[in-house]
Structure 1
Amino acid sequence: MSSVIAVYPGTFDPMTLGHEDVVRRATQLFSKVVVAVAAGHHKKTLFSLQERIEMARQVAEPFKDQVTVESFSGLLRDFVVGRGGKAMVRGLRAVTDFDYEFQLAGMNRSLMPDVETVFLTPSDKYQFISSTFVREIAMLGGEVDKFVSPFVQEKLAEKVRSLERE
């Protein structure tokens, strides 16, 4: 395997089994994968940046020889280029993701002509999972154990309990 650094950016609010599957698949293609947790200035997140980093690090633990987790804010291009990234990994769940991701890839190509966007699809059993659905189910008291790791499930339960106390 050649020494290629790939960046997998996202808000990861929270990190799902689909995200974890994309990380695993990326480690089979690239020598190093940087999971880039976005500060989320454009989205209101349930979890703080520090909490999302902690969850991503826990989920990435089995791949620690190849995967690092870092946060970023500002232009993704600056982060990718600053890390020596040659590929950007994006997960695609369904056709509905494709239009947005295709436009994003085109924009990123104009900003980073030397960086390729690679689309990875999660396993069939994870294709319908989204962080938004997981948050909503958890906030409404539903079970999310089929969608997130046990560590993330516990963090979600803690967050829901803390919000109920407010």
Structure 2
Amino acid sequence: MPGGGESVREVVHHGGAVGIVALDDEDRVVMLRQYRHPVGEHMWEVPAGLLDVDGEAPVDAARRELAEEVQLSAERWSLLTTHHPSPGFCDEKVLLYLAEVLSPVDRPEGFVVEHEELDMTVERVPLAEAVQWVFDGTIRNSLAAIGVLAAAQVRATSPRLRPLDSV
């Protein structure tokens, strides 16, 4: 610790994750409503998943998760943010992507819908309404809040985004 002191910390090691803000041609964001046991409620979220396939690039994991969770693919991908959602106790890093020019696809072969995903609701919400959901407290999932606000900023100001292979 600063000044030479010592302190004990419990740290959760995490393999990382990706999230996807999928915007359709009407500027609606694809939102999921999914039960989350740790908080005991359904939450509005963006498609997301773990980096749990050895050697898979994060953007490819995002492509896979978009197909698995909402049966969509995207022609255009951009990296919105890279962030650590809970750095006080966990080393998880999340890469958040913007997916545009959407089209329907089948779920990947071998993927089985199970657990919370069996009860998942998918809805397309106008981006401006989703932004209001963040401020209303309807969206309380940090990844979804960051993603919706970042996507709205991209639409409003066209900031310079990093290359897809950035970390």
Short-chain TM bin: 0.3 to 0.5
Q: Which has the higher helix share?
A: 1
Return the index of the structure with the highest Cα Rg.
2
Q: TM-score, normalised by structure 2?
A: 0.34
Q: TM-score, normalised by structure 1?
A: 0.34
